[in-house]
Chain A
Amino acid sequence: QKEVEQDPGPLSVPEGAIVSLNCTYSNSAFQYFMWYRQYSRKGPELLMYTYSSGNKEDGRFTAQVDKSSKYISLFIRDSQPSDSATYLCAMSARGGTSYGKLTFGQGTILTVHP
């Protein structure tokens, strides 16, 4: 079983829809949670970064972390065709030999059609 599970999709939605992307994880040591957006053949772009549990909002994006359920989510409101990309969740623990190491989900391919 992988430490981080993410549904690869693909996910196809109409423009303006609310998109929900999710990851589950098994390592209770994870404390930092991130979402990255990756366009084809480009480097991952950091969208959201949260520490421990809670919500964080940035424009059309909201990240939620529920450590008790080991579940994180990214919501995209008023989705646009330019949001079409692969979305990767990533997590890291604090300290020890895994210091700084990010563990990624497989990524969800999202297409927003006009």
Chain B
Amino acid sequence: DSGVTQTPKHLITATGQRVTLRCSPRSGDLSVYWYQQSLDQGLQFLIQYYNGEERAKGNILERFSAQQFPDLHSELNLSSLELGDSALYFCASSERDGEQYFGPGTRLTVT
């Protein structure tokens, strides 16, 4: 158990809908990262927050947004969902650079 929690475990929704994925980092970690894992693209970095501020951005779609709250938990919002957004979404946290610990993931299925 990495200490990073994610909810929900599974999410099934229809195209055009909006969903919110939630992540709680390990105790003491200030950085939260979001990654998307699909069969064809592998694990892809989406975005990083550090102590409430956006720190780095990857190839995150404009339909996707994230935020980190004062209690350090983070949410990833996915809107106008398309079939191609079906994937595993992971949250990771770290105290410092490099050593990122991953949560169990949220499996999103868009039908």
Contacts and interface: CB of A to CB of B under 8 A. Distances in A.
A102 B94 CA distance: 12
**Interface residue SS majority, chain B:** strand
Contacts of A49: 98-99
A43 B102 contact: yes
A88 B42 CA distance: 10
Contacts of B57: 97
A97 B56 contact: yes
Contacts of A97: 56-57
Contacts of B88: 41
Given A46-B101, A92-B98, A104 B43 contact: yes
Contacts of A100: 31, 33, 48, 50, 55-56, 94, 97, 100
Interface in A75-114: 88, 90, 92, 94, 97-107
Given A41-B107, A101-B48, A102-B45, A51 B98 contact: yes
A21 to B, nearest CB: 15
Contacts of A34: 98-100
Contacts of A94: 97
Given A99-B56, A103-B45, A106-B42, A32 B90 contact: no
Contacts of B103: 43
Contacts of A16: none
Interface string B81-94: 00000001010101
Interface of B: 2, 4, 31, 33, 35, 42-45, 48, 50, 55-58, 88, 90, 92, 94, 97-105, 107
Given A41-B107, A43-B103, 11 more contacts: A34-B100, A43-B90, A44-B90, A44-B102, A46-B101, A51-B98, A92-B98, A100-B94, A100-B100, A101-B45, A102-B35
16 contacts: A32-B97, A42-B105, A43-B4, A43-B105, A45-B2, A46-B102, A49-B99, A90-B43, A92-B97, A99-B97, A100-B50, A100-B55, A101-B56, A102-B43, A103-B45, A104-B43
